[in-house]
Amino acid sequence: ISPKKTIEGAIGGLLSAFVIGTIYVIIFPIFDSWVIATLIIIVVSVTGQLGDLVESALKRHYSVKDSGQVLPGHGGILDRFDSLIFVMPILYLLGPL
């Protein structure tokens, strides 16, 4: 989908999300169980990466380098929020856990 995205980068993102999510849960204990916290961290990390891949695939399909002129050279403003477009609905659905 995107030539600059690698499996190593995806694994690194997952591990980074796990470490940062664990630190966050230690400071702000919002979950009753570590199992639930771990599952939510993994789901959110994978969903964020999926959002980035979908946005990259859409840009590649339409042969667009930047998704806007607000941040030229950075892929556009949509590149800054592409993962959140997928993550926020998932967090909303998983919120009551």
**Tens-digit pLDDT profile for residues 63-96:** 777 666 666 666 667 777 888 888 999 989 987 6
For residues 48-61, average pLDDT: 84
pLDDT at residue 37, as a whole number = 92
For residue 60, which amino acid is it? R
For residues 50-73, average pLDDT: 76
Predicted TM-score of the model (pTM) = 0.79
For residues 4-18, average pLDDT: 88
For residue 27, which amino acid is it? I
Q: Evaluate if residue 97 carries a pLDDT over 80.
A: no
- Cα 45 to Cα 21: distance, rounded to the nearest angstrom: 10
Place of tokens 């667009």: 64
